[in-house]
């Protein structure tokens, strides 16, 4: 809601600015007739023309903000409706495959039918889209009334050179405020590159891609994987499956007081020792983990308080920032 209010305030400022320029235009237009040589533009006429050009630019920016406001509201309130078509096809296909596996006596890929998992997937996607909106606000991408709109979704069929592939394309999908423009294929690759945590969220020159772009270019399966990663990257004290052959991230809904159930292999990780569950037996000692911590103390490595990665200072001052600087909970280490 604060993002919507920021856009509304920007629109009000634009309206006042437009009225001021338009008033100046009409005030000066009447006093310019017959006071200069025919065919030669007077200084007043030149100034008026500049004001008209500026007014047109402001009106265009205002229209862009109306689009930005409506798309932002649609993404934050109607995400489920935008996903329904892809969702239904995906669920039907996977539930059919699940039924065939059971009929043949095969072990399905997952212990839970996809239709039962969908509520969790939808929540994950909503969380990921909300995270992108928050990051847009954090990076001041919701404009405060100066300059052109930052939410540029290209719809006209004009061939433009894609910044990434350098081809002349008509399907330019994203245009950043930095001037870089991406075709649909390159926009998709940019989003999917976030399988590397350092590249999350998808961005160009610091500008986070709006959720409407992500929703429009990814298939449902790609969107689900992207959202799963977004939730993982935004989770503090992450838990991963203790089976080294799996190592799947375990989301919060699969964690209780002392145990976490892997959504991929269904094995249980015991949280106090981060090893596979061992009912009735004492927690095993993790010698490898102990040796790593001993080495860290000897080498004076520091651990990020959020992502838990070890950081080694080689050069520079003692002020260290986590490599995942776009994380909303990144913090300097001293």
Tell me the C-alpha distance between 110 and 102, whole Å. 11
Q: What is the mean pLDDT of residues 156-175?
A: 85
Q: In degrees, to the nearest 5, what angle opens at C-alpha 8 toward C-alphas 4 and 13?
A: 150
Tell me the C-alpha distance between 206 and 42, whole Å. 44
pLDDT-based confidence at residue 161 (cuts at 50, 70, 90): very high
3-state secondary structure of 229: helix
Q: Compare 151 and 66 and report the one with higher pLDDT.
A: 66
Q: What is the mean pLDDT of residues 28-44?
A: 58
pLDDT-based confidence at residue 318 (cuts at 50, 70, 90): confident
3-state secondary structure of 11: helix
> Which range, of 26-35, 55-64, 119-128, averages the lowest pLDDT?
26-35
**pTM > 0.95: yes or no:** no
pLDDT at 327: 47
pLDDT-based confidence at residue 89 (cuts at 50, 70, 90): low
Tell me the C-alpha distance between 309 and 287, whole Å. 19
Q: Is the pLDDT of residue 166 over 80?
A: yes
pLDDT-based confidence at residue 153 (cuts at 50, 70, 90): very low
Tens digits of per-residue pLDDT, 203-260? 999 888 888 888 888 888 888 889 889 888 888 888 999 999 999 999 888 888 889 9
Tell me the C-alpha distance between 330 and 16, whole Å. 39
Which tokens is 100 given? Answer: 């065939």
Tens digits of per-residue pLDDT, 274-285? 889 988 888 887
Tens digits of per-residue pLDDT, 38-79? 666 666 666 666 666 666 665 665 565 556 556 555 555 555
Q: Is the pLDDT of residue 199 over 90?
A: no
């Amino acid at each position: 809601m604060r993002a919507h209010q920021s856009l509304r305030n920007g629109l009000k400022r634009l309206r006042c600015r437009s009225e001021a320029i338009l008033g100046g235009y009409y005030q000066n237009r009447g006093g310019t007739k017959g006071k200069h040589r025919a065919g030669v533009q007077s200084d007043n006429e030149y100034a008026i023309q500049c004001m008209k050009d500026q007014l047109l630019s402001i009106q265009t920016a205002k229209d862009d903000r109306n689009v930005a406001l409506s798309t932002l509201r649609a993404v934050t309130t109607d995400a489920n409706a935008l996903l329904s078509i892809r969702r239904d096809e995906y669920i039907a296909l996977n539930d059919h495959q699940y039924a065939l596996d059971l009929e043949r006596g095969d072990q399905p890929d997952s212990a839970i039918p996809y239709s039962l998992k969908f509520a969790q997937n939808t929540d994950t996607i909503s969380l990921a889209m909300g995270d992108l909106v928050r990051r847009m606000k954090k990076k001041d991408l919701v404009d405060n009334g100066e300059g052109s709109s930052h939410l540029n979704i290209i719809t006209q069929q004009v061939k433009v050179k894609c910044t990434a592939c350098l081809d002349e394309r008509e399907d330019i999908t994203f245009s950043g405020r930095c001037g870089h423009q991406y075709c649909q294929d390159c926009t998709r690759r940019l989003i999917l590159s976030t399988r590397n945590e350092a590249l999350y969220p998808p961005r160009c020159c610091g500008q986070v891609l709006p959720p409407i772009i992500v929703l429009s270019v990814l298939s449902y399966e790609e969107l689900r994987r992207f959202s799963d990663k977004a939730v993982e990257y935004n989770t503090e004290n992450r838990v991963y499956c203790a089976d080294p052959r799996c190592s799947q991230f375990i989301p919060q809904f699969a964690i209780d007081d002392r145990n976490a159930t892997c959504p991929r292999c269904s094995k249980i990780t015991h949280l106090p020792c981060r090893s596979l569950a061992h009912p009735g037996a004492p927690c095993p000692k993790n010698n490898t983990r102990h040796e790593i911590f001993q080495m860290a103390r000897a080498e004076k490595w520091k651990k990020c308080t959020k992502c838990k990665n070890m950081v080694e200072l080689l050069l520079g001052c003692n002020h260290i920032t986590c490599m995942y600087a776009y994380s909303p909970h990144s913090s300097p280490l001293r």
